[in-house]
Structure 1
Amino acid sequence: MAFITACLHVVSPAGLFLSAPYSESLFSLLSFTGSFLYLWSGRELEAGNIFQSNTAALASAIIFGLSCMVRSNGLLNGIFFLHDFILQIYGVITGANGKSNTLFSRLFRIGILGAGGLIIALGLVLPQAIAWKDYCTAGSNRPWCSNTFPSIYFYVQDYYWDVGMFRYWTLPNVPLFLLAAPMLTLMIVSGVWGIGIKNTAGTQSIDFDKTLLRKLAFPQLLLAVMAIVTYHVQIITRISSGYMVWYWWVAYQMSAGRAAEEVKGKDWTKFVVRYMVLYGIIQSVLFAGFLPPA
């Protein structure tokens, strides 16, 4: 399954964006590395290795912070830290699982998670602060400098790209929604599967970490929804490359899931792979002509 997942990333619908010196490949690297360190942190915590766990958590936050500098949707990875931060506070207040760790270690863990969340947020805020310093000092009259949140990023997205809630919902953009529909379907269905709202038959054949799967699935699902209501929807075909649950879901259906009697005959996975390969070819022609999925 791991090998199939890696192969699916190679033929990802991001296509040329992963082959060229563009932000998608770097974001995927940072997103996957940060997720690995986050997983490692959780495993070390379960084993009682507090120092190693907290070190891995901070390293994960730094990597996620760097991913925010590459793509703003890297901020969604902060949900991991927010989830555990709230859970740890709840545990301290209620005394849940208090016997496994001392109060000091739990409070220290809360501090680590809080610091990690701030580091991730800094990855988005720092470039904006640098831009503000460069463009909004010495009496600049740029319109975004006087905003409540003077962000050059949000101004460019709003003014030049016309990005905003439901702004993309126009009749001429219907073909672009159709272009994004296969990838949106994969991300939403696999996200629901990962969160556990809908359990896929045969999951007992692979030992999934259910808690981790839910944490990883929620940002992916949230990104898909944001793409539908806010973004230029066609970009989902390339920014999806930095999220792993949909890869896992397709790989699962192609490997262990295929062997299970209750999911036998799901040959639709071959159409998913064909779509990914063909879209990569079509995308290169469209993008060379300055057409979507840019």
Structure 2
Amino acid sequence: MSLDKRASALVSRAASSASSYVENQIWAVVKYAVLSRIVSLALGAVSNAFVEDYDSSLSVFIRPIGKVSQGSLAFVIFERLAQGLAKIIVRWDAFYFVHIADAGYVYEQEHAFFPLLPLLMRVLVATVLSPVASAIGRKLALVVAGVLISNTAFVLAAATLYKLGCRSLGSNRLAYVSALMFVIAPSNMFMSAVYTESLFALLVFTAMLLITYERYLLAALFLGASGLCRSNGPIYAGFFLWNLLVRTEAWVPLTTGQSVSWWRKAGTLLSRGLYSLILVSVSSAGFVAFEIFGRRELCRHLTGVSATEQRLYCTDKLSTVYGFVQNKYWDVGFLRYYSLEQMPNFLLASPMILLSVAGLWTFAARNPVQFVSLGWLQQRPKKTEATVSPAVAASEAFFSRELLPHMYLWAVLLLVAATSMHVQVITRFFSGLPAVFWFAGHAVASSSPSSSLVDANRRWMQWAVVGYFVGYGLVGAVLFSNFFPPA
């Protein structure tokens, strides 16, 4: 065999081995994600059997809980299981999603909840689950559909986060550990309930993964769908602006090659700007469509009503239905949550806030010049050893320049959560933020051979992060299943 053929065979074998390794890790992430959903639902069921609910609204919402259909034994068993599932899943916001899926948008306050999940639930019940719906009732079938969608989306989101980590971090190990941190996220039960967190995470993780392959238009379509899922979906369109207009690599063709005329460079820049505008518009289309729908449905009922009784969103084009509803019914607004009676909720949110501050500080402190200059300026790197262990390589992966836009997004959403939201929901609000799990993975996967004191500090950090993720998630599952706050 010639030298070239041997080299080609070795390269092919190495590529095959690497591909097999990644595939095995993906299946491991999927396995643990499924296991985590089983454990969470089982814990919720057991705790619900022994703890009296804080609120018994479910008995009014799905009547009657104890009565089963007279069909085959299989359907009787399935209905019992569905009723038991409803007792631990239909809590807090889930009531709204199930009602919207069943009856549409009836009340003004329901416009705080986006339509993609209810629409998918309705489609599933009208197609795959139609035999089930006829046997156990439409509402119970909608609950089953919502649970199937959320849990399937969670498993797929975990696998997608791993793939995104491999692309963005350059470390399969850190990507794997970070995906496992997502699997045990503090938002635990919300990811299995009839909530939008899992579906939203899947959509934005997929969009960000597509962006790393520069498949921008398809990524924008996913972000557009995410805007039908949660209000913060369009914010992720900032990645298009970053890739096309901000990052230094995008400017290389415009700053080199003196033979290219200035007007061609100007044309290239203009075309990028227009393309970015199109991508941002597509990414915002879902949110805008829902807003138009809300104005049309709500404002047409106010025809002939005096100006003093008109809703602001019907008279002011800059006002939104979503913002009005959040303001009126949930008292959401800048610094409105800052009161003494809300101190317990700030304490509940403090671990995630501290984790976020630590993550942002850790990243920025490594290369502050790079961080404040949007990556345009680089701090001279310190000398390192010629060889590094896999552990050190994983710890260094968190400081990749590819993570800059993720850090800026994290900082913006942290500011929003801390000043303008019900702060206790920050754990599930951040469930669609890869940087949170990358830093958690960094804290858990990193090690240092430098000194026993450093190792002791790192071990403390590892136990603190894992303890918070697991402990908060398990306690949250018990509280959620029995209708106790926070929600």
How far the C-alpha of 1:67 sits from its partner, in A, is 1.3
1:232 aligns with 2:405: no
Q: Which of 467, 483, 486 lines up with 1:274 in the alignment?
A: 467
Q: How does 1:159-198 map to 2 (within 5 A)?
A: 159-194=328-363, 196-198=364-366
How far the C-alpha of 1:289 sits from its partner, in A, is 4.3
Q: Which residue of 2 aligns with 1:284?
A: 477
1:134 aligns with 2:278: no
Hey, what's the Cα distance between the residues in 1 that align with 2:259 and 2:430? 38
Q: Which residue of 2 aligns with 1:213?
A: 403
How far the C-alpha of 1:139 sits from its partner, in A, is 4.7
Hey, what's the Cα distance between the residues in 2 that align with 1:98 and 1:68? 40
AA partner of residue 423 (structure 2) = V
Q: Which residue of 1 aligns with 2:286?
A: 123
1:261 aligns with 2:450: yes
Q: Which residue of 1 aligns with 2:241?
A: 82
**RCO greater where, 1 or 2, for CA within 8 Å and sep 6 or more?**
1
Hey, what's the Cα distance between the residues in 2 that align with 1:260 and 1:271? 20
TM-score between both structures, scaled by the size of structure 1: 0.83
Q: Which of 176, 183, 190 lines up with 1:10 in the alignment?
A: 183
AA partner of residue 288 (structure 2) = V
Larger Cα Rg: Structure 1 or Structure 2? 2
Contact 1:220–1:243, Cα closer than 8 Å, also in 2: yes
Identical positions, percent: 31
Change (3 A) 1:260 1:107: farther
How far the C-alpha of 1:285 sits from its partner, in A, is 2.9
1:37 aligns with 2:210: yes
How far the C-alpha of 1:86 sits from its partner, in A, is 4.2
AA partner of residue 226 (structure 1) = V
AA partner of residue 447 (structure 2) = R
Contact 2:220–2:280, Cα closer than 8 Å, also in 1: yes
Deviations 1:95-147 (A, max 9, x none): 42466996455543332222111112222211001111222136534523223
Hey, what's the Cα distance between the residues in 1 that align with 2:199 and 2:436? 19
How far the C-alpha of 1:13 sits from its partner, in A, is 0.7
Contact 1:237–1:293, Cα closer than 8 Å, also in 2: no
Hey, what's the Cα distance between the residues in 1 that align with 2:256 and 2:286? 33
AA partner of residue 280 (structure 1) = G
Change (3 A) 1:30 1:233: same
AA partner of residue 162 (structure 1) = D
Contact 1:234–1:292, Cα closer than 8 Å, also in 2: no
AA partner of residue 188 (structure 2) = G
CA RMSD, Structure 1 to Structure 2 (Å): 3.0
How far the C-alpha of 1:198 sits from its partner, in A, is 4.3
Deviations 1:67-105 (A, max 9, x none): 1221112222122223345438xx88x942466996455
Determine helix, strand or coil for the equivalent of 1:164.
coil
Deviations 1:40-78 (A, max 9, x none): 21xxxxxxxxxxxxxx01111111121122111222212
Range moving further from structure 2, 184-193 or 126-135: 184-193
Change (3 A) 1:143 1:197: same
Contact 1:16–1:284, Cα closer than 8 Å, also in 2: yes
Change (3 A) 1:139 1:161: closer
Hey, what's the Cα distance between the residues in 1 that align with 2:339 and 2:486? 17
Contact 2:197–2:428, Cα closer than 8 Å, also in 1: yes
1:57 aligns with 2:216: yes
Hey, what's the Cα distance between the residues in 1 that align with 2:259 and 2:233? 33
Change (3 A) 1:99 1:113: farther
Hey, what's the Cα distance between the residues in 1 that align with 2:332 and 2:366? 32
1:245 aligns with 2:435: yes
Hey, what's the Cα distance between the residues in 2 that align with 1:108 and 1:149? 29
Hey, what's the Cα distance between the residues in 2 that align with 1:208 and 1:31? 20
Hey, what's the Cα distance between the residues in 1 that align with 2:259 and 2:272? 13
Contact 2:366–2:399, Cα closer than 8 Å, also in 1: no
TM-score between both structures, scaled by the size of structure 2: 0.52
How far the C-alpha of 1:154 sits from its partner, in A, is 0.8
Contact 2:346–2:423, Cα closer than 8 Å, also in 1: yes
How far the C-alpha of 1:189 sits from its partner, in A, is 2.1
Determine helix, strand or coil for the equivalent of 2:330.
coil
Contact 1:57–1:112, Cα closer than 8 Å, also in 2: no
Deviations 1:208-227 (A, max 9, x none): 67332010111111111111
Contact 2:224–2:284, Cα closer than 8 Å, also in 1: yes
Q: Which residue of 1 aligns with 2:171?
A: none
Change (3 A) 1:183 1:208: closer
Identify unmatched segments of 5+ residues in structure 1.
Answer: 42-55
AA partner of residue 258 (structure 1) = S
